[in-house]
Each structure stands twice: as C-alpha cells, then as structure tokens.
Structure 1
Amino acid sequence: MKKNKMFIILMTCLPWFSIPLLGLKTFKRFLPSSLTLVLYLIAEGRLAEKKKWWWFPFNIKPNVLGELPLIIGPFFVGSLWVLKFTYGKFNLYLLTNIIIDSLFTFLGMDWLKKIGYVTLVRLPKIQLSLIFLIKTFILYGSQFLYEKVFSSNAFK
C-alpha cells in the first residue's frame, strides 16, 4: 500500500511540473474548459461510484473519489496540453484523443488494475472508450463556447 501512495502522489504531481512549459497565455486560455472537464469528471465519478462502473480499492480520505489523483493530475494537465496542440484543428484533436483514450483504456487500465489502483466492475472497456469520447466532445465544446462568448480576439 505504501508503494501505491507514492505512485498516487507522483501521478498527481508530476504532470504539474510541465505547466510552466505551456506558457501563461495558453494556461489562461484553456483553463476554463479544463476546469469544466474536471467538474464533469467529479460528477461522473460520483455516478460511477453509485453504478459500480469501476472500483478503487482504497480511499484517499472519506468522501473523496479514488480517481481524484487521475482527475487533477494527468486528466487536467493533459487536457491543457491536448488543447494547446490541437485546438482549432478538430480532426487532429479527435484523432489525438482517440489514440490517448484508447491507450489508457486498453493498456493503462490493465496496468492500473495490476498495481491495484482501479478495477472495472460493471463497465466493459468498449463502454469506457465511449465515455472517453463524450469527454472529448465536452472539452472541445466547452472551449469553443468559451471562446465564442469571451471573443477569440482576447487570446491572439
């Protein structure tokens, strides 16, 4: 269990060391949509907990989602990076997300299960892929709406 705690800490913190490489302008530009995705993921995690889609065999703290380290680490920071390199090129964005999500679903989940971090319970991997596809559209759509509402000129 001590190894898992260290892994969870690293998984949460290491992606944040790449934030300065994004640049402040990029960070500010994509922060609102990435935060929207974080809120969605937290709500989805609560639903998944009730529906027993997946199971985290430990608690960080009572009433804290087991996937919170994934959400505030690689998912949050990863969404900033994906948007930085692909926003405005939807086909590239979609392809990039399908590749990343497929790698996570079909390889990453097996490894996370092997180390005892998470197990899919009532959710086949193909359905997990579809859930990731929904998140792909939520992230891009929220960024698109944000820039429509707050004028894309403010970011150029």
Structure 2
Amino acid sequence: MKYPKIFNLLMIILPWLTVPFLVKHDFKKFLPGTIFMSIYLLFEASIAEKRRWWTFYAKIHPKVWGIIPLIIGPFFIGSIWILKFTYGKFFRYLVLNLVVDGFFTYLLIPWLTKIKYVSLVRLKRYQLSLLFLLKSVLMYGFQYYFENKVSD
C-alpha cells in the first residue's frame, strides 16, 4: 500500500462525517451497545493477533493494532446506524448485518488483501462471517439488556 497512514486516517474520519446526520437521541441511545462491542473487539483483536487470524500490513503506528481504524471508524459509526434503522426488529437487524458483513467479508477483504492492507491468515472467510454473526447477536442482546434492565 502506497499511503497506509492516509488510508487509515480516512477510514477513521470518513464514517464520523455522517454523525451530524444522526439525531442526538439516537446516537446516545445506541452508544452503550456500540461501546460494549468496541471493547469486545479490542479483546478479540488481542486473541487474533496471538493466533494470527489475520495480518494488517498498514498500521497507524507499529505499536498500534492495525484493526483499530476499522473499530473506531466504520464499525463504531456503522453499528450506530444499523441499530438506528433496525433496533426493535431483530430479523431486519440480522438480515442487514448479514448483508453488510457479507459485503465486507466476500468483496472488501479480497480487495483489501490485493492492496496489501490486511489478509486473513488462519481464519477462513466463512469463519469470519460466523464471527461477525456472533458479534451482531451479542451487540443486539447487550443493547436490549441495557435498555430494559440497566436504564430502568
């Protein structure tokens, strides 16, 4: 990759440019589930790094995991948008997540591998899809629990 730092910065900044289009109430409402899943992703990243599930070639800094721009950019903001449009309709939520995750896994990952940004090493694409599905259900469950139990 020719300009990895610029690519990573754009990956962080561009999704955040959509935040002004969110209603403040929606952003706050879905923040707990998104933060929970972002923290979960950090733990997952430490496991993935040790087990070499994937390799990031382009990093912001050598000591920062390559997945961080994906977590604080597209994942974080994308999760809020998906929850905004589908929360309360679990089947719709699941279908939208399958479409978005499938797009990422089967179309974007090959392109990111081609440009030498990331590649799957010990994880197959179908395994990544299953991992995404598990995380989607976990995030929805946490958001549901938070709204119905914690915020009472």
Q: TM-score, normalised by structure 2?
A: 0.95
Instruction: Kindly provide the CA deviation profile for residues 83-141 of structure 1, in whole angstroms up to 9, marking residues without a partner as x.
Output: 00000000000000000000100001011111111010000000000000111011101
* Cα distance in 2 between the residues matched to 1:66 and 1:3: 14
Secondary structure (helix, strand or coil) at the match of 1:122 reads coil
1:89-108 to 2 correspondences below 5 Å? 89-108=89-108
* Cα distance in 2 between the residues matched to 1:63 and 1:43: 16
Partner of 2:3: 3
* Cα distance in 2 between the residues matched to 1:116 and 1:5: 13
Q: Does the 8 A contact of 2:5 with 2:58 survive in 1?
A: no
Partner of 1:154: none
Partner of 1:35: 35
Secondary structure (helix, strand or coil) at the match of 2:91 reads helix
**Offset of residue 50 of structure 1:** 0.3
Which letter maps to 1:75?
F
Partner of 1:47: 47
Partner of 2:119: 119
- What residue ranges of structure 2 are gaps of 5+ in the alignment? none
**Offset of residue 58 of structure 1:** 3.9
**Offset of residue 144 of structure 1:** 0.3
**Offset of residue 2 of structure 1:** 4.7
* Cα distance in 2 between the residues matched to 1:110 and 1:133: 19
Q: TM-score, normalised by structure 1?
A: 0.93
Q: Does the 8 A contact of 2:58 with 2:118 survive in 1?
A: no
* Cα distance in 2 between the residues matched to 1:110 and 1:14: 21
Instruction: Give 4+ residue runs of structure 1 displaced > 3 Å after superposition.
Output: none
Secondary structure (helix, strand or coil) at the match of 2:3 reads helix
Secondary structure (helix, strand or coil) at the match of 1:119 reads strand
Count the aligned residue pairs. 151
Secondary structure (helix, strand or coil) at the match of 2:18 reads helix
Partner of 2:137: 137
* Cα distance in 1 between the residues matched to 2:59 and 2:4: 12
Identical residues among aligned pairs (%): 50
Q: Does the 8 A contact of 2:4 with 2:59 survive in 1?
A: no
